[in-house]
Chain A
Amino acid sequence: MKKEITCIVCPMGCRMTAEICPDGPKVTGNTCRRGVDYAVAELTAPTRTVTSTVRLSGGGSVSVKTREPIAKDKIFDLMRILRTATADAPVRIGDMILSDVFGTDIVATAEAGKEA
């Protein structure tokens, strides 16, 4: 399957065409090696860091992120989980809010509650 991919490795923003062929990946339009790596990752297993917020049980919310990028096609499944999740204040940056979702953890990215 051929795919048009805009490289985001650097500000050049090369418009590449990438295809996985039987004899390996074929990438055109890139101007450096890093573009090939990015295109192959995008074609085979694209991942994204997801950021959102989680409700605090005592009211308000706290911002969170996936500790590691997750598979791109799991983003909306993760959002459904985050919509019902809650955390208890006080929360410090880096605190684990949910463990082991889609192969990573959800951690707080801000302080919330009394100790902030």
Chain B
Amino acid sequence: MCEKHDIVIIGGGPAGLAAAVAAYDAGVTDVVVIDREEAPGGVLRQCIHNGFGLHKLGRELTGPEYAAVYAKEAARRGIRILRETMVTALSPDRVVTACSREGILKIEAGAVILAMGCRERSRGALNISGTRPAGIFSAGTAQRLINCEGYMVGKKAVILGSGDIGLIMARRMTLEGAKVEAVCELMPYSGGLTRNIVQCLEDFDIPLYLSTTVAEIHGRQRLEGVTLISVDENRRPIPGTERYIGCDTLLLSCGLIPENELSLGAGIPLDGITGGALVDERRETEIPGIFACGNVLQVHDLVDYVSDEAELAGRSAADFVRGISPAGKTLPVFAEKGVRYCLPQRIHAGASAPVELYMRVAQPRERVKIVARSGERILAEVSRRRVAPGEMEKITLKPDALCGAEEICVSLEDL
């Protein structure tokens, strides 16, 4: 059996839902969202803390509330969401294969939007030595167990990684009665938002050890403790700095990996830094008619920006279905001095709307400007009193700035 739909969206989290609503509102109403969970909302369903929606909706919501806003908008438009349905393959000519309790489903899509999100880096990927006891969780797994399944994961915890999920879980574990002994961060600075360092760690006197990692895991049945070790500026362990902390739980918050197995299967080229697809300013991948948005494209700090990006992808997919294609040649975008990556990786010179370039800096800096150049010509620049890898930056290129531009280079310079 093969159905045909104008737009198929893979993933029903914040990106997928916002993309669906935007595509529908752009005039393409035959939109199907495929999600593997029992209800839409993606990771927001387990993010019960607040702080979502300040930029996008002008109010502070919890994760489930933010997801519900978009789920309601999708439902109001009658957008079909296939639940408990897992996409198993995507072909470059946009045939989506999925399976559910009803069996295998094939859909020929006019356009596809990738919105699969991320998964967490695991202990195996981190190569932490020691035994293999129970009590080691990725922070997001612990979050799901505590917030959705109602299981407390432990009583005395160490958290490795100071990304936002790790910080949020330090507070959540503490509120639920556990003692969080420490949050350790390999880098000399935290990867999380300042707001989370203050409200999740400082509020509860949880120490944050920078330039520190877990050297060894101890315990046979259940985790009994971890050995921490300081690292030098090259992230190499410093012998003699080992110290033992007894704990029954270790949470790992060591980075998110965009879930791009389907994209690779379709032959979509990925960016080596972001782990997401290479896209143009409309969020189209290098395969025509396949778009990407949200954390599967680049890991965002705030869901508000995921929604923005997804709406852009949704509108672009609608344009593609209606045969509207971008004008002008494509200009490559390069991240240079001090900028780790820049997205989109290419821009059409004929872009009619302003193009926002999103980027992360390589390390924390003060008093800098972000400059986009084409050759010697400055296309745009903004100054920042402080930048950090944990806070995504953006710079806006006006359409007339693109006129006559060749390749575009973005760099970080002293003020």
Which residue numbers of A lie inside 8 Å of B, CB to CB?
Answer: 6, 8, 11-13, 31, 48-53, 55, 60-61, 63, 65, 72, 75-76, 79, 93, 109-111, 116
Contact = CB atoms under 8 A, between A and B. Distances in A.
Nearest to B391: A11
Interface string B43-60: 001001110000000001
A48 B194 contact: no
Given A51-B48, A60-B150, A93 B64 contact: yes
22 contacts: A6-B198, A6-B202, A12-B386, A13-B194, A49-B50, A50-B175, A51-B48, A51-B49, A51-B62, A52-B175, A53-B146, A53-B150, A63-B48, A63-B62, A63-B64, A65-B48, A76-B175, A79-B175, A79-B176, A93-B68, A109-B61, A110-B65
Contacts of A110: 45, 48, 64-65, 68
B199 interface: yes
B48 A109 contact: yes
Contacts of B49: 51
The 6 closest A-B pairs by CB, nearest first: A13-B194, A110-B64, A63-B48, A109-B62, A8-B195, A61-B150
B76 to A, nearest CB: 15
B199 A109 contact: no
A55 B198 contact: no
A91 B35 CA distance: 23
Contacts of B195: 8
Interface residues of B, number: 29
Nearest to A52: B175
A51 B391 contact: no
A100 to B, nearest CB: 21
Interface of B: 39, 45, 48-50, 60-62, 64-65, 68, 146-148, 150, 175-177, 193-195, 197-199, 202-203, 385-386, 391
Contacts of A116: 39
A13 to B, nearest CB: 4
A8 B48 contact: no
A7 to B, nearest CB: 8
A63 B199 CA distance: 19
A116 B83 CA distance: 14
Given A60-B150, A72-B203, A49 B60 contact: yes
